[in-house]
A and B are shown apart, each in its own frame.
Chain A
């Protein structure tokens, strides 16, 4: 504090004291970091509701989950679901943004309407679509009336296609958000560029493909990354529509974790939680880096 320099440095430290970080760090460490570290410990134990002591079990949990196929199945289902949701959510969101791009009164009202599902509870959305997609439900009713014959497609009962249907429901809930992000992205494209292309005689499709879509890269990054992460953590919509069925073909990691936890097999649930953590960690950073790189090319 005696010389000028130390006064300056001291003042800086004094002006923005580190103790301001402490409350946030305590909450973060206690409720986020420590449980995550616990994941790496308890996945290797026999922790369950059936006995009071917790003993070391080595890699038994991994071996049993791997050998009975549930680990690979849940992992595959989760990844397929995440990719499907990312594709549908972005396709729907972009299509809506292009459709509702002009600032007319009708468009503004329709945009607000498409944001309603985003605000609703995902669980509620799941129950609505369960009713809509039943074999004798409303969708088959509409199709029957339209085609003039009895249609009874079991939308939620197919071991192959139900995961696609559920991913579309997930995309339906969140497409309003993607639409808004794409609309904001479209607004940032300068009118001069588009006008120049128009004067060069570019068709609407050419303009979209070679000018507008590449300039939407930041919006694509955000939308793809959030859709992938959101659906890998998915639970509500799948639980409310199929509960993981038929035959485990829509059993996301989180559905498995919830089910085994309910059965008291805590160590197995922890093991799957660790698998989810590692999968997201391994995938998230390369995906984000890849999408960012695409932005840099421009």
Chain B
């Protein structure tokens, strides 16, 4: 390691000296400009924000704008709407997916190979978004939270099954045997032995699926649009309805507020999230 480092410093001292400057400059240009635009515009009044530009606001009123979108934009209802569909869907896919993945990881045979292929096909294949609406109508679930939860579960079960089945195969079967010798049935073995061991892979899956569901607007527009508000649905209405047509300051204030929960989660659990996401990808 040290020899490599010394050769590198000897060979390219200039590159190493300029690298931090280049990194910061590129980040400022590609990230700083859009983010500053959001913050500056969200802090202006309507007249000043009419043409969003990079000029700093003559008078900062970020929190006044937050208050406006919070009360006028039905933000709180939308926040709870987002939670209402996300939490049950995530818990549901994790439990059902892990149960299935345990069996798929432990037993072989042609039938189970076919079931596995079917179960993970959803990673690649797009959901049939139009006919889902028809089906939900026939089931009496159109426009309900339950229907939306079912749709999300159907979409993301494959992700969970894929991640967890691979992980189950790395768990030594002896750990299960020990519990079985003590007289534990399959439900007990699964709940007491397997589920706790799955924690790291379930954490990764939770993060990914939360990210998708929290930010989804496409499927929500079809299934619950106009019935239940979620944050992205509400942003879509706020931005496309005439109400806020020229109100860039409110749109951007809304964007900042709705991004905060995920941003805070990300900053707090950064290490874990990054290692979780990259661990599965490069093998």
Q: Which 5 A-B pairs have the closest CB atoms?
A: A31-B154, A38-B131, A24-B100, A184-B278, A32-B154
- Contact check, B96 vs A24: say whether CB atoms are below 8 A apart: yes
For the A-B complex, the count of residue pairs with Cβ-Cβ distances under 8 Å equals: 264
Chain B residues whose C-beta falls within 8 Å of the C-beta of A127 in the assembled complex? 235, 239, 251-252, 255
- Interface window among A69-77, A150-158, A273-281: A273-281
Complex CA distance for A116 and B119, rounded to whole angstroms = 31
- Contact check, A180 vs B235: say whether CB atoms are below 8 A apart: no
Q: Which of B4, B30, B38, B267 sits near A195, CB closer than 8 Å?
A: B4
Chain A residues whose C-beta falls within 8 Å of the C-beta of B235 in the assembled complex? 121, 123-124, 127
Instruction: Using CB atoms, name the residue of chain B closest to A225.
Output: B124
Complex CA distance for A40 and B241, rounded to whole angstroms = 35
What are 14 contact pairs spanning A and B, CB under 8 A? A15-B189, A16-B102, A16-B106, A27-B92, A30-B150, A32-B127, A33-B118, A106-B20, A115-B274, A123-B232, A138-B37, A261-B133, A273-B128, A273-B129
Chain A proximity mask over B80-106: 1 for CB below 8 Å, otherwise 0 = 000000000000100011011011101
Shortest A174–chain B CB gap in Å is 12
Chain A residues whose C-beta falls within 8 Å of the C-beta of B232 in the assembled complex? 121, 123-124, 236
**Any A CB within 8 A of the CB of B153:** yes
Complex CA distance for A112 and B270, rounded to whole angstroms = 8
Q: Which of B119, B161, B218, B281 sits near A184, CB closer than 8 Å?
A: B281
**Any B CB within 8 A of the CB of A60:** no
Within 8 A of A (CB), among B9-29: 11-12, 19-20, 22-24, 26-27
**Any B CB within 8 A of the CB of A294:** no
Shortest B48–chain A CB gap in Å is 14
- Contact check, B217 vs A123: say whether CB atoms are below 8 A apart: yes
Instruction: Using CB atoms, name the residue of chain A closest to B154.
Output: A31
Instruction: Among B51, B239, B282, find the residue whose CB has the most chain A CB atoms closer than 10 A.
Output: B282
Interface extent on A, as a size class?
Answer: 35 or more
Complex CA distance for A127 and B42, rounded to whole angstroms = 13
- Contact check, B221 vs A121: say whether CB atoms are below 8 A apart: no
Q: Which of B1, B180, B248 sits near A15, CB closer than 8 Å?
A: B180
**Any B CB within 8 A of the CB of A63:** no
Tell me whether A39 and B128 are in contact in the complex, defined as CB-CB below 8 angstroms, given that A25-B115, A219-B281 are known contacts. yes
Chain A residues whose C-beta falls within 8 Å of the C-beta of B221 in the assembled complex? 258
- Contact check, B34 vs A39: say whether CB atoms are below 8 A apart: no
Q: Which residues of A contact B (CB under 8 A)?
A: 12, 14-18, 20-21, 23-25, 27-28, 30-36, 38-39, 42, 47, 96, 99-100, 102, 104, 106-107, 110, 112-124, 127-129, 131-132, 134, 136-139, 141-142, 172, 177, 180-181, 183-185, 188, 191, 194-195, 198, 204, 218-219, 222, 229, 232-233, 235-236, 240, 254, 257-258, 261, 266, 269-270, 273-274, 276-277, 280-281, 284-285, 288
Chain B residues whose C-beta falls within 8 Å of the C-beta of A31 in the assembled complex? 132, 135, 150-151, 153-155
Chain B residues whose C-beta falls within 8 Å of the C-beta of A30 in the assembled complex? 135, 139, 150, 154
Instruction: Using CB atoms, name the residue of chain A closest to B99.
Output: A20
- Interface window among B60-68, B70-78, B195-203, B257-265: B257-265
Tell me whether A254 and B218 are in contact in the complex, defined as CB-CB below 8 angstroms, given that A20-B102, A24-B119 are known contacts. yes
Instruction: Using CB atoms, name the residue of chain B closest to A219.
Output: B282
Shortest A21–chain B CB gap in Å is 5
Complex CA distance for A123 and B220, rounded to whole angstroms = 13
- Contact check, B100 vs A25: say whether CB atoms are below 8 A apart: yes
Complex CA distance for A211 and B129, rounded to whole angstroms = 44
Complex CA distance for A274 and B99, rounded to whole angstroms = 31
**Any A CB within 8 A of the CB of B113:** no
Chain A residues whose C-beta falls within 8 Å of the C-beta of B12 in the assembled complex? 204
Shortest B57–chain A CB gap in Å is 14
Chain B residues whose C-beta falls within 8 Å of the C-beta of A136 in the assembled complex? 51
Q: Which of B38, B107, B126, B270 sits near A16, CB closer than 8 Å?
A: B107
Complex CA distance for A35 and B232, rounded to whole angstroms = 24
